[in-house]
Chain A
Amino acid sequence: MASRRLIYLPFWAVYVFLYAPIAVLVVMSFNAGKSPYVFEGVSLKWYGELAGDETIRQGLVNTLIVAAGSTVLSTVLGTLLAVGMARYARSRLLDALGLLPAVLPDIVLGIGLLVFYRAIQMTLGLHSIILAHTVFGMAFVAAVVRTRLVHADTSLEEASRDLGATPLVTFARVTLPGLAPGIAAGALLAFTLSLDEFVIAFFTAAPTEPTLPIVIYSMVRFGVTPEINALATILLAVSFTVIIVAQRMTRLTESLT
């Protein structure tokens, strides 16, 4: 029976491994001292520094603009593509094309877009990151919406067509309302992926308009600063809140239906 117990060893080790670094960041964010290694009493000093940091604030604003812009584009293009692929064109080639942005390493997509922008002599800025993030955002939205389409009952659409509606009217009046939850989930996914995306943004951003991950990257490269700990703790708190709210919402909708 000793072997039965043994399996719990890697299980617990994984959780310690995943959470120890995060715990260190959180504890050190409340450090009164400047050293990242020695805890010298509790203070909110670094949170104050963070609040006054103009570079980080601007990075956050840029990140939100990019995420919002690429989410709108991704949702419209991805939804149309999903419907088109599920209802009007079934081909393995198209399936592969839809999957490509998800399996391609970030760095390849990043340099590809950089080369492309240079070739058409487009200036870089927030718009170039939005266009870049839409490439993978759209693929994820299309994948999420398609799974809903595949499992959807098509009899309503057939009825609509039997009653003489054109494909577009059928789409607007019947298909789209049924897809709404899937579209919302896809949009949320595209938004969160864009918020945290670094590599593609790094290659397609203008030096003067960095997103928050790019700002963090230059801070980390520059060396160890306790301000990052405060930022990490806030971002963690936001992630936790989002997860808990999402959980509650799914429970709520489950209890309502």
Chain B
Amino acid sequence: MSATHDLAPPGAPPGPSDGRPPRRARARGTAAARLIFLGPGLGYLLVLLLVPLALVLGYTLFRRGRFGGVVYETTTENFTRLFDPLYFDVVLTSVKLAALTTLIALLVGYPTAYVIARLPRRWKTIALVAIVIPFWTNFLIRVYAWVILLSGPGLLNKALTGTGITDAPLGLLYNQGAIVTGLLYSYLPLMVLPLYAAIERLDPQLAEASANLGARPARTFASVTLPLTVPGILTGCVFVFVPCLGNFVIPEILGGGRSIMVGNLIRDQFLKARDYPFGATLALAVIAVLIVLLFVQAWASRVYGEGRRG
């Protein structure tokens, strides 16, 4: 049932049915209902979501106090510091690692989602649940598992030296490769699920028609399947990129504890350096990247979402 079945807007002339309370009383009742239903939730979000966000944005303009806290003198020094290579490189590295993770997730996630969507019904459910189960186990424990796997005496090195692929243990842990591995492991399910939904929705007759018209499978995929699943691809990319960008746990535990990504920097500004204004400015940089990303997503889904003519 769509919106057409919804109630008439308040104040609309009453329908032909009699026996309703008079119109003014109804409108009053509706206004009261509005307040009762919308008031608590919106009030809560205003105080505990919008006010904190406004504080973070506001703090970017002020100077830090000598012992933490904020001195209310406006300054541009936070933004100057943000573009200092020392910090800006960290922001760029974070974007790079998050983008790389998203790309790998897409490249392995797409064929996986495709295979799952084409499985017989019973196996389909099992395959999907199997994608989600690791995601349901504690995030920190999943990261910790990779410490055991990647460390010097760990299993991967044992396997590599045991089979003679390498003669000495490799330094697999505490580098950017380990960070990408951990990020991929944590968020791959978020890529597979929307892709699966998009591929599942496809009308198989389209691919059939394409084949009947003489297209090879590769051509059918490139001209029919892929364009039609672009919205799913975009959703999956946003779902993976967002939690990667602000992550500070994975860089710390798998990357070796230095401030490698912007999440670590933000956390340290708030909990160690007590520099709220600069921490807020770094957070604003993260939000800015995400706003750009969401605009790209909206634009691309508009381009692909409206019946394209190939």
A residues apposed to B, CB below 8 Å: 3, 7-11, 13-15, 17-22, 24-25, 28, 36-37, 76-78, 80-81, 83-90, 94, 97, 100-101, 103, 105-109, 111-116, 119, 131-132, 134-135, 138, 142, 150-155, 157-158, 161-164, 166-168, 171, 192, 196, 198-199, 203, 212-213, 216-217, 220-221, 224, 228, 231-232, 235-236, 239-240, 243
User: When the two chains form the complex, which single residue of B36, B42, B130, B154 contacts A15, counting CB atoms closer than 8 Å?
Assistant: B130
Nearest-neighbour CB distance to chain A for B185, whole angstroms, equals: 7
Q: Are B148 and A24 in contact (CB under 8 A)?
A: yes
Q: Are B137 and A132 in contact (CB under 8 A)?
A: no
Over the window 105-122 of chain B, the binary record of Cβ atoms lying under 8 Å from chain A Cβ atoms (1 yes, 0 no) is: 001110110111000000
Q: Are B283 and A111 in contact (CB under 8 A)?
A: yes
How far apart are the CA atoms of A17 and B173 in the complex, in Å? 17
Chain B: interface size category: 35 or more
How far apart are the CA atoms of A104 and B67 in the complex, in Å? 30
User: When the two chains form the complex, which single residue of B145, B217, B280 contacts A3, counting CB atoms closer than 8 Å?
Assistant: B217
18 further A-B contacts with Cβ under 8 Å, apart from A81-B42, A111-B56, A213-B140, are: A21-B145, A21-B146, A24-B145, A37-B151, A37-B153, A83-B37, A106-B246, A107-B266, A138-B44, A154-B7, A155-B5, A198-B140, A203-B270, A213-B139, A217-B140, A220-B147, A220-B253, A239-B136
Nearest-neighbour CB distance to chain A for B60, whole angstroms, equals: 12
B residues apposed to A, CB below 8 Å: 1-3, 5-7, 10, 17, 19-21, 29-30, 32-34, 36-38, 40-42, 44-45, 48-53, 55-56, 59, 107-109, 111-112, 114-116, 129-131, 133-134, 136-149, 151, 153-155, 158, 185, 188-189, 192, 217-218, 238, 242-243, 245-249, 252-253, 263, 266-267, 270, 276, 279-280, 283, 286-287, 290, 294
User: When the two chains form the complex, which single residue of A14, A78, A80 contacts B188, counting CB atoms closer than 8 Å?
Assistant: A14
How far apart are the CA atoms of A83 and B167 in the complex, in Å? 65
Interface of B is mostly: helix
